[in-house]
Structure 1
Amino acid sequence: MPADDGSRPGVNSAPSLRGASDGNSRKGPILPWLRALDGLNTHDEAYRLSASGGVTTALVLPGSANAIGGQGAVIKLRPPTDRSPTGMLLESPYETGNTTVYDPTSHFRFRQMKHACGENPGRVYSGTRMDTIWAFRQGYEKAWQIRDAQDAYCVKARNGQWSGLGEFPEDLQWEALVDVLRGRVKLIQNIAGKPPAAALFATHSRYKRESYRGSEFAPRILADAGIHVVMKSDHPVLDSRFLLFEV
Structure 2
Amino acid sequence: MLIKNGKVYTMTGKIYDNGCISIENGRIKALGENIEPLEGEEIIDAKGGWILPGIIDAHSHIGAIEANMGFEGSDINEMTDPITPQLRALDAVNPMDEAFQKAIKGGITSVMTGPGSANVMGGQFVAMKTYGKCIDQMVIKAPAAVKVAFGENPKRVYNGKGKMPSTRMATAALLRQTLLEAKNYKEKKERALEKGEFFEANLKMESLIPVMEKQIPLKAHAHRADDILTAIRIAKEFDLWMTLDHCTEGHLIAEHIKASGFNAIVGPTMSFNSKIELTNKSFTTPAELIKAGVKVAIMTDHPVIEQQYLPVCAGLAVKEGLSLEDGLKAITINAAEIANIADRVGSLEVGKDADIAIFDGNPMEVFTKTLYTIIDGNIVYDITNQ
Unmatched 5+ stretches in structure 1: 94-110
Q: 2:151 aligned with 1:118, yes or no? A: yes
Report how far residue 49 of structure 1 moved.
0.6
Whether contact under 8 Å (1:205, 1:215) holds in the other structure is no
Paired residues for 1:60-209 under 5 Å: 60-80=113-133, 84-92=134-142, 111-126=144-159, 127-154=166-193, 157=194, 165-168=196-199, 170-191=201-222, 192-193=228-229, 194-195=256-257, 196-201=262-267, 202-204=269-271, 206-209=273-276
Quote the residue 1:100 is aligned against. Answer: none
Give the distance between the partners of 1:26 and 1:203, measured in 2 at CA.
27
Q: Hey, which bits of structure 1, 4+ residues long, moved more than 4 A?
A: 205-208
TM-score after normalising by structure 2: 0.53
Unmatched 5+ stretches in structure 2: 1-53, 160-165, 223-227, 230-255, 315-386
Give CA deviations for 1:183-228 in whole Å, capped at 9, x if unaligned.
1221110122343322222433855534534322222232233222
Report how far residue 168 of structure 1 moved.
3.9
Determine which of 297, 315, 318 is the counterpart of 1:230: 297
TM-score after normalising by structure 1: 0.81
Whether contact under 8 Å (2:111, 2:130) holds in the other structure is yes
Whether contact under 8 Å (1:65, 1:121) holds in the other structure is yes
Report how far residue 58 of structure 1 moved.
0.5
Instruction: Number of aligned residue pairs: give it.
Output: 219
Where 1:74 maps in the other structure, the secondary structure is: strand
Letter of the structure 2 residue corresponding to residue 185 of structure 1: I
Give the distance between the partners of 1:10 and 1:214, measured in 2 at CA.
26
Give the distance between the partners of 2:207 and 2:142, measured in 1 at CA.
14
C-alpha distance 147-209 of structure 1, shift in aligned 2 (>3 A): same
Paired residues for 1:8-27 under 5 Å: 8-27=61-80
Identity percentage of aligned residues: 32
Give the distance between the partners of 1:151 and 1:229, measured in 2 at CA.
36
Whether contact under 8 Å (2:114, 2:126) holds in the other structure is yes
Quote the residue 2:349 is aligned against. Answer: none
Give the distance between the partners of 1:206 and 1:197, measured in 2 at CA.
24
The answer to which of 210-219 and 175-184 deviates more is 210-219
Q: 2:279 aligned with 1:212, yes or no? A: yes
Letter of the structure 2 residue corresponding to residue 167 of structure 1: F
Letter of the structure 1 residue corresponding to residue 63 of structure 2: G
Quote the residue 2:310 is aligned against. Answer: 243
Q: CA RMSD in A?
A: 2.0
Report how far residue 92 of structure 1 moved.
4.2
